[in-house]
Amino acid sequence: MYMTYQEAMQYMEQIGKKGSILGLQAIRNLLNRLGNPQNSLPVIHVAGTNGKGSICTFLESMYRIEGRKVGRYISPTLYGYLERFQINGVWMEEDTFATLFEEIFPVLTEMEREGEALPTAFEVETAISFLYFLEEKVDLVILETGMGGREDATNVVDKPLCTVFASIGMDHMQFLGDTLEEIAYEKAGIIKTGCPVVSYPNGEAVSQVLKSQWEICNWNENPKPAFCVADACQVEIVEELLSGSRFLYKGKEYRISLSGTYQIYNAITAIETKLLLDGYLNKKSLALATWPGRFECMSEKPLFIRDGAHNIDGVMSLKRSLQKHFTNMHLIFIIGILKDKEYEKMTAVLCPMAEHIFTITPPGPRGLPAEVLRKACMPYCSDVKACERVEDASRRAMDMWWEYENSGEPAAIVAWGSLSYMGLIGRN
């Protein structure tokens, strides 16, 4: 039968009602029936709490500048559903998705008929990404975990080229554990025997867990694959601006277009990965890397920043960036947070910096109601208003910015929180 994109998405919506279930049995069964396409792909597998997307972006740019065809599987997305399946920055076409789902649909039907556990929507999407990249004959897949690692749907590649760890912090505690060590242990589940590991300069507790799991996986390997931690002590910051940073790493100068000190550490993690795998990199590729929604300056008039800070580590990084770049400015916040996040702690960190706050409800069932968020912000700011639509909050914040501008007072709009609403920010 011929399936349209709309029909495929209707089936995906039905599958999505099942929700998220940890465990790999269903997706392994699905992929096995599809011929295990994931094991025919060269994969760099990336896990972590914050910075996964930025590290993946740096890596993608490093390989694309060499003329390589790079596939990326991304979640969450900012602008649209098919954004999650990309090759050299170009989204999958609707007809392609429909064709690939049509290929998977009989297998799902067969699994259901045989009483097998059925995969979730994310697992089906993951399988589709593998089929897509294999059919398109990509040179490399940069694969980002959805949540955790050990039982994440992406953790089905038998032998990736490398496993990479971004910053690991407190998030998704209801699934991953209540301590950094427990969360790091779950992330470390993507480590494979015989595969090198590269890590962001995490703290000692996290690094020890990663190193321990690498040693367990490779105790019988001779020689052992590399275990590398990017060295923050080897970083010398030359310049930090809203337009990006210049820094020295191990004596060599680099420039990036992503703003924020933490992006420098994401960059050196990507640098270590590329050098480990290939022994060389084109430094220009770092400056070409762009990643929307990560301390991104959307415009200068009005001065409008958006940042997907959606957990405690994220808001602490955002706070440091605001203190560095926006001292003595009036700050206008737009905030939307998911209800399963530590929103009370997050607002306590950032909201004392704001003079005006507009709260919104992010799209989807996980969105924290704007009114609930408004009440959480009120102890820290005297002017907090709940808005029905993201566009309304953007318009009101920009009107307020222009009032400050016309009176000669510097101000900045900062939209932060869930990435799920960031694609709507700035629209009228």
State pLDDT tens for residues 48-58: 988 999 999 99
Domain boundaries, the chain: 5-288, 296-424
CB contact set of 108 (below 8 Å; sequence gap of 6+): 15, 30, 118, 119, 124
pLDDT bracket for residue 293 (50, 70, 90): confident
Options 3.30.420.40, 3.40.1190.10, 3.40.718.10, 3.40.1550.10; CATH of 5-288:
3.40.1190.10
pLDDT in tens, 145-193: 987 789 999 999 999 999 999 999 765 444 554 788 888 999 999 999 9
Q: What is the band of 426 on the pLDDT scale with cuts at 50, 70, 90?
A: low
- Please give the pLDDT value at position 96: 97
**Listed residue (91, 100, 93) closest to 12, CA to CA:** 100
pTM of the model: 0.89
> Distance between CA 235 and CA 213 in Å, rounded?
27
CA dihedral of residues 71, 75, 81, 86 (deg, nearest 10)? -10
Residue 313 has a pLDDT of 85
| Mean pLDDT along residues 294-311 | 90
Q: What is the DSSP string of 144-166?
A: E-SS-STT-TTTT-SS-SEEEE-
Between 159 and 420, whose confidence is greater? 159
Q: What is the pLDDT of residue 263?
A: 94
Mean of the per-residue pLDDT values of the chain: 92
Segment 125-144 mean pLDDT: 98
pLDDT value for 172? 42
pLDDT band at 419 (very low <50, low <70, confident <90, very high): confident
CATH class of 296-424: alpha beta
Residue pair 133/8 in contact (Cβ under 8 Å)? The answer is no
Q: Please provide residue 362's backbone torsions phi and psi, each rounded to the nearest 5 degrees.
A: -60, 150
What is the pLDDT at residue 310? 84
**pLDDT of 140 over the 70 cut:** yes
